[in-house]
Amino acid sequence: MTRYAAPLTDIRFALFDVLGAGALFQRLPGLESATPDIIDAVLEEAAKFAEQVLAPINHSGDQEGCVLDKASASVTTPKGFKEAYATYVDGGWSTLTTPEKFGGQGLPETIGAIVKEFIDSANVSWGNFPMLSHGSVEALKAHGEPWQQDAFLKPITDGRWTGTMCLTEPHCGTDLGLLKTRAEPAADGSYRISGTKIFITAGEHDLTENIVHLVLARLPDAPPGVKGISLFIVPKFKVGKDGKLGERNALAVGSIEHKMGIKASVTCVMNFDGAEGWLIGAPNKGLNAMFTMMNTARLAVGVQGLGLIERAYQNALAYARDRLQMRALTGPKFPDKPADPLLVHPDVRRMLLTQKAFAEGGRVLALYAYMQHDIATHSADEAEAKRGDELVSFLTPIVKGLLTELAQESTYDAVQIFGGHGYIAETGVEQYARDARITTLYEGTTQIQANDLLGRKVLATGGAGLKHFLGEISAFCQQQSSTAALGEFVAPLAIVTREWSELTQELAKKAQANPDEVGAAAVDYLFYSGYVALAYFWARSVAAAETSTLPADFREAKRLTARFYYTRILPRIHAHGAAIRAGSDTLMAMSDVQFG
């Protein structure tokens, strides 16, 4: 069975040595309590929870899955899930990052992201239950009326209730302008919600006493398309303005999905039949409120990808050390054994180093993005807050799109390293490949992330976040240009950064003449951007390792992994660049009939 140990040393290195989070939190109003000692204590306890409570029920939860009782329209989660959730709540984990005025601890979202990585590495299916609650909290914080925050936000923060996002319908996924769910005004100021939503994570379960659904629907006089969407709070059990629970609402789970992976995370068809709901935010402005939830969830799903990369790497490495298979090409490394371990073989090392480079580089990328979010929401400097917001907006589709795609590669490589043993359920490795697959799909597919990055975050808005990021990388390269220890990284980083800027300008010109150029280039542009971003954070990691007090082997491993990344992974951008410059003609030339 697979194992998991929270990578606390690497987390601390990324957070404090590479990114300087300790000093940042001390100067951001409201985050002063996040001292290194407090953060260390939080991470130590989070590691224990992930390793000792969640990891042991990951495989069994996958085997057991969730069970729907159609007669009572209730769902039972796998053995141990309810008890794990109670432990989570008792430990105060649900309150970690919510502001104190809403009953939370007010710690930085960056620290919440680290705890989330631990949870997702240990048990990504279980992690989906609190993840959706976090999105609900963010929406209620930003758009809820005071009574709604008291009645709904505080119980969700406490962990007594959980939240969901009810967006997708049977006939519309990403194109929310097609949704049909209706909201009829009632005399008491509430609304009656009717319609069917699908793919609703944690739509029904046995972990909490109430479930709060945030539902997109149309008012009777709503304009067509996305301009006519409103957002409503629709609880499983009715909630008065005094916060007291009432009778069962007119909504129920219709069925649960039988899925490829995350089988212990319940995914529901939810039917609303005149259910009582409350408008959150302004009428017909639900898309704005929805994106508050969605952007939170997209970063969180990127962390799911990161967590699965780390879990795949840990177990592939352990197996490669133990499994004896043939002799090294240069002669026996362990002559006292009948064969050498897999770790001696070059291609096994290629796969392991790829996983290691993605896990450790991706961790710095994700934490950097979350730190920009903390800056945007806490800085007293208006210009700094604006820059942070523009940076996290730009980086969100990269974190989500890149890290989830790299999770596919990393879990695939784990199965390859295990060989035939990776393909059977008993070892547990194939579960990670199945679990990882959904991360590129929900909260917007990779294609959606790519279109958001190139079409909206770069071209439509003038690329403010990209300009900040390019400027930061260029400044780093200039500052380190005379540092001999960084020469092998800084020189190529400066080149690819300049090429990234030039490629973006080329695309902008081509897109003005032909909008199809955006769709044709977007996914390759996302990978190109992501690989350059990882190169930057690997260079920063080497720079931090030069002055770190961590053991020499750890610091040297950073340099060696960065060297591998620069020589074996970063060159992938050349293929993506060639595909981008190939344009849309070869994609659009064939007629529908000619597809056969």
Contact 311, 413 (CB under 8 A): no
* Residue 5 one-letter amino acid: A
Residue reference for tokens 């300087």? 20
Mean residue pLDDT of the chain comes to 96
Sign of CA dihedral 151, 154, 158, 163: positive
* Residue 314 one-letter amino acid: Q
Contact 128, 201 (CB under 8 A): yes
In angstroms, the CA 518 to CA 503 distance is 13
In angstroms, the CA 471 to CA 353 distance is 29
Contact 388, 288 (CB under 8 A): no
Mean pLDDT confidence for 246-250: 97
Q: How many CB atoms lie within 10 A of CB 237?
A: 14
Residue reference for tokens 């709070």? 233
Query: Helix, strand, or coil here: 332?
Result: coil
| Long-range contacts (CB closer than 8 Å, 24 or more residues apart) made by 457-466 | 457/393, 457/394, 457/397, 458/394, 458/504, 458/508, 459/507, 459/508, 459/511, 459/518, 463/394, 463/504, 464/390, 464/394, 465/390, 465/391, 465/392, 465/393, 465/394, 465/395, 466/394, 466/504
Tell me what pLDDT residue 294 has.
87
Tell me what pLDDT residue 272 has.
98
* Residue 549 pLDDT level (bands cut at 50, 70, 90): very high
Tell me the H-state helices in 419-515. 420-423, 429-437, 446-451, 464-480, 487-513
DSSP one-letter code for 456: I
Contact 556, 548 (CB under 8 A): no
162-285: what fold?
A: Butyryl-CoA Dehydrogenase, subunit A; domain 2 (2.40.110)
Q: Which residue ranges make up each domain of the chain?
A: 8-143, 162-285, 446-590
Tell me what pLDDT residue 173 has.
75
Tell me what pLDDT residue 46 has.
98
DSSP one-letter code for 151: I
Query: Helix, strand, or coil here: 501?
Result: helix
Per DSSP bridges, beta strands 74-76 and 191-201 are: unpaired
DSSP bridge partners of 185: 191
Q: Nearest-CA neighbor of 545 among 537, 555, 535, 536? A: 555
Q: Which helix (H) or strand (E) holds 167?
A: none
Mean pLDDT confidence for 205-225: 96
For residue 431, give both structure tokens: 């579960």
How confident is the model over 96-138, as pLDDT tens digits?
999 999 999 999 999 999 999 999 999 999 999 999 999 899 9
* Residue 1 pLDDT level (bands cut at 50, 70, 90): low
DSSP bridge partners of 150: none
Is 443 marked active-site? yes
The C-alpha angle with vertex 465 and arms to 472 and 298, in degrees rounded to 5, equals 115
How confident is the model over 402-435, as pLDDT tens digits?
999 999 999 999 999 999 999 999 999 999 999 9
Contact 194, 218 (CB under 8 A): no
If 0-12 CB within 10 Å is exposed, 13-18 middle and 19+ buried, where does residue 22 land? middle
In angstroms, the CA 12 to CA 26 distance is 16
Tell me what pLDDT residue 63 has.
97
The active-site residue out of 443, 506, 517, 556 is 443
Contacts of 570 by beta carbon, 8 Å cutoff, 6+ apart: 492, 496, 531, 532, 534, 535
Report the share of the chain in percent with pLDDT over 90. 95
The answer, yes or no, to whether residue 222 has pLDDT greater than 90, is yes
Contacts of 374 by beta carbon, 8 Å cutoff, 6+ apart: 24, 25, 28, 31, 108, 109, 110, 388
Tell me what pLDDT residue 287 has.
85
Mean pLDDT confidence for 239-249: 95
Per DSSP bridges, beta strands 161-166 and 210-217 are: parallel
Q: How many CB atoms lie within 10 A of CB 391?
A: 24
In angstroms, the CA 446 to CA 456 distance is 15
Tell me the H-state helices in 516-551. 516-547
Tell me what pLDDT residue 461 has.
85
Contacts of 181 by beta carbon, 8 Å cutoff, 6+ apart: 169, 193, 194, 195, 196, 197, 215, 216, 217, 218, 272
30: left (phi over 0), alpha (psi -120 to 50) or beta: left
Tell me what pLDDT residue 291 has.
84
* Residue 106 one-letter amino acid: G
8-143: what fold?
A: Butyryl-Coa Dehydrogenase, subunit A; domain 1 (1.10.540)
* Phi and psi angles of residue 277, each rounded to the nearest 5 degrees, phi first: -140, 165
Mean pLDDT confidence for 525-552: 98
* Phi and psi angles of residue 261, each rounded to the nearest 5 degrees, phi first: -145, -165
How confident is the model over 278-316, as pLDDT tens digits?
999 999 999 888 888 889 999 999 999 999 999 999 999
Report the share of the chain in percent with pLDDT over 70. 100
DSSP one-letter code for 249: P
**Residue positions counted in the chain:** 596
**Cα 426 to the center of its chain, rounded Å:** 28
Query: Helix %, strand %, coil % for the chain, to 5?
Result: 65, 10, 25
**Cα 206 to the center of its chain, rounded Å:** 25
For residue 49, give both structure tokens: 């929870």
